[in-house]
Amino acid sequence: MPIRIPDGLPAAEVLRGENIFVMPQTRAIAQEIRPLKVILLNLMPKKIETENQILRLLSNTPLQIDVHLLRIDHRVSKNTPKAHIDRFYRDFDKIRQSNFDGLIITGAPLGLTPFEDVYYWEQICEIIRWSTTHVTSSLFLCWAAQVALNVLYGIPRYTLDNKLSGVYEHQSVGGHSKLLRGFDDTFLAPLSRNAAFPIHAIQQYTDLDVLAKLPESDELYLAASHDLRQVFVTGHPEYDADTLANEYRRDESAGLSPALPHNYFPNNDASCEPLATWRSHGSLLYSNWINYCVYQITPYDLKVMHPSEND
């Protein structure tokens, strides 16, 4: 089945060019089917690029998914046309009274910024708390995972001495968790973060299930609540093959002297074209999330209270 996105969204042509079935709203409303309603809160600077990446992964499921784009930052973007944001993105006030099947909050280049200095800190905290009663399952990526752990569990902000940038091997440690179905014992995933996610802090402050980690390390990659209503991913399984290269060259041009991304460029030669070695993991992770955390848990009628509201 297709993903259902607003008419005219640039991602439509990109994904159609990859033989991904994309259905515009005008056609979707003619079908008698209950699509999954998923919100994408896109905090990344290059919003169109991130839209393409996330929507690509959401398309790897037999379910029809109705995607809504959300914004909380009204400052003029340097990387995304204002007309695009005004046309396709909605404000939180427009949806706060509605319930949704899923929520995805992306990362943001704010790993070195204290929480209290984040421009939209109060708004993102409000949305994360709101999601616990209005969303069946939420997927928090990278920086958003750090924020959600702080908002929901009070975990302090941890920062690495050196940025993790590159493609890292991770180890599945979650046993028979539904989120790990089909996973190999080890898998590759891109990281691009200054934020630290020490497992000892996760275990101290929460009862989350630790599902994947960096081998021989205290660094978390994947965790989830027992009921799968909150899922935390500390990397970027959605990244394109060249995303880390573009970040590296951007930082290099800015005079930041970035380290070469780990295990990324062939022969560690930045002049070589990198290959995506994590696509299967990213597709499987999103498919498992949509199937086991959203579709098999969410009520058919979204007006029905979610389980946490009846506790």
Q: What is the DSSP letter of 293?
A: I
* pLDDT band of 123, cuts 50, 70, 90: very high
Residue 305 above 60 pLDDT? no
Judge whether 78 is annotated as a binding position. no
Q: Is 280 buried (19+), middle (13-18) or exposed (0-12) by CB count in 10 A? A: middle
| Six token digits for residue 60 | 């790897």
Looking at residue 300, its pLDDT comes to 81
What are the tens digits of pLDDT across the range 249-292? 999 998 988 999 999 999 999 999 999 999 999 999 999 999 99
Among 238, 247, 281, 306, the one annotated catalytic: 238
| Six token digits for residue 231 | 């899922």
Residue 68 above 80 pLDDT? yes
Looking at residue 30, its pLDDT comes to 45
Q: Mean pLDDT throughout 217-240?
A: 97
Cα-Cα-Cα-Cα torsion 151, 152, 156, 157, nearest 10 degrees, comes to -60
Does residue 293 carry a catalytic annotation?
no
Residue 311 above 60 pLDDT? no
Report the C-alpha gap between 150 and 201 in whole angstroms. 11
Looking at residue 1, its pLDDT comes to 45
What are the tens digits of pLDDT across the range 86-114? 999 999 999 999 999 999 999 999 999 99
Yes or no: say if 129 and 150 are a contact pair by the CB < 8 Å rule: no
Q: Which amino acid is at 268?
A: N
Pairing mode of beta strands 186-195, 159-172: antiparallel
Judge whether 163 is annotated as a binding position. yes
Q: Mean pLDDT throughout 109-132?
A: 96
Yes or no: say if 195 and 142 are a contact pair by the CB < 8 Å rule: yes
Q: Mean pLDDT throughout 155-169?
A: 96
Q: Which amino acid is at 95?
A: I
CB neighbours (10 Å) of residue 63? Answer: 18
What are the tens digits of pLDDT across the range 183-192? 999 999 999 9
Report the C-alpha gap between 189 and 199 in whole angstroms. 18
Q: What is the DSSP letter of 136?
A: E
- What values do phi and psi take at 133, rounded to 5? -120, -5
Weakest mean pLDDT among 8-22, 70-84, 198-212, 213-227: 8-22
For all residues of the chain together, what is the average pLDDT? 90
Does residue 226 carry a catalytic annotation?
no
| Structural domains of the chain, ranges and CATH numbers in brackets | 3-155+195-239+280-310 (3.40.50.880)
Does residue 142 carry a catalytic annotation?
yes
Measure the CA angle with vertex 150, ends 144 and 153; round to 5°.
125
Report the C-alpha gap between 111 and 55 in whole angstroms. 24
Q: Residue 255 — left, alpha, or beta (φ > 0 → left; ψ -120 to 50 → alpha)?
A: left
Q: Which residues pair with 169 in a beta bridge?
A: 188
Judge whether 75 is annotated as a binding position. no
Report the C-alpha gap between 140 and 235 in whole angstroms. 10
Taking the mean position of all CA atoms in its chain, how far away is CA 272? Answer: 28
- What values do phi and psi take at 227, rounded to 5? -90, 5
Q: Which residues pair with 70 in a beta bridge?
A: 41, 90
Q: Crossing angle for the helix pair 279-288 and 47-58, nearest 10 degrees?
A: 70
What are the tens digits of pLDDT across the range 10-27? 766 776 666 555 655 554
Among 68, 134, 236, 306, the one annotated catalytic: 236
Q: Which helix (H) or strand (E) holds 25?
A: helix 25-28
Among 49, 68, 134, 142, the one annotated catalytic: 142
